[in-house]
Amino acid sequence: MSEKIRKSDAEWRALLSPEVYRVTREKGTEAAFSGCFYACKTPGEYHCACCDAPLFRSGEKFDSGSGWPSFWQPVNDAAVSTLSDTSHGMRRTEVLCARCDAHLGHVFDDGPPPSGLRYCINSLALTLKESG
């Protein structure tokens, strides 16, 4: 497990584009079907847009029809952390990058087997490292 990355809001703001900052540091959500990865089938590994930690793989990505990139499991259990989120009058589970606490999206329990989980992630929180 790599070391935790901590930066001030001002440091993140200087590093990230305004859109990425809004989603990852202010817990924003990109509009459905607006992101660059929801329909992406390119083989590779998805990394954190803030700290470049590996988070998800194309092999565990599936087409959920939601308009956001969806995965049934993270690259490993230590890669992401979760938090209970009761904002917007909903009871949801927030998914964060375990290394830098970037807001990634939410996890729901209506995913496909074998995990039954659906990690619903903002494209803006991810960068794709194409394999090969």
Q: Which residues are catalytically annotated? A: 120
Residue 23 found at the interface with Zn ion (CB under 5 A): no
Task: Report the candidate in 117, 129, 126, 125 with the shortest Cα–Cα distance to residue 21.
Answer: 125
Place of tokens 């939410």: 106
Q: Which stretch binds Zn ion (CB under 5 A): 41-49, 59-67, 107-115, 123-131?
A: 41-49
Residue placing its CB nearer to Zn ion in the complex, 50 or 121? 50
Total residues contacting Zn ion by CB under 5 A comes to: 8
3-state secondary structure of 81: strand
Supply the DSSP symbol for 125.
Answer: G
**Cα 20 versus chain centre, distance:** 11
| The binder of Zn ion chosen from 16, 20, 51, 79 (CB under 5 A) | 51
Cβ-based burial of 121 (10 A; exposed 0-12, middle 13-18, buried ≥19): buried
Contact flags string 67-106 toward Zn ion, x per CB under 5 A: ------------------------------x-xx-x----
List residues binding Zn ion (CB under 5 A). Answer: 48, 50-51, 53, 97, 99-100, 102
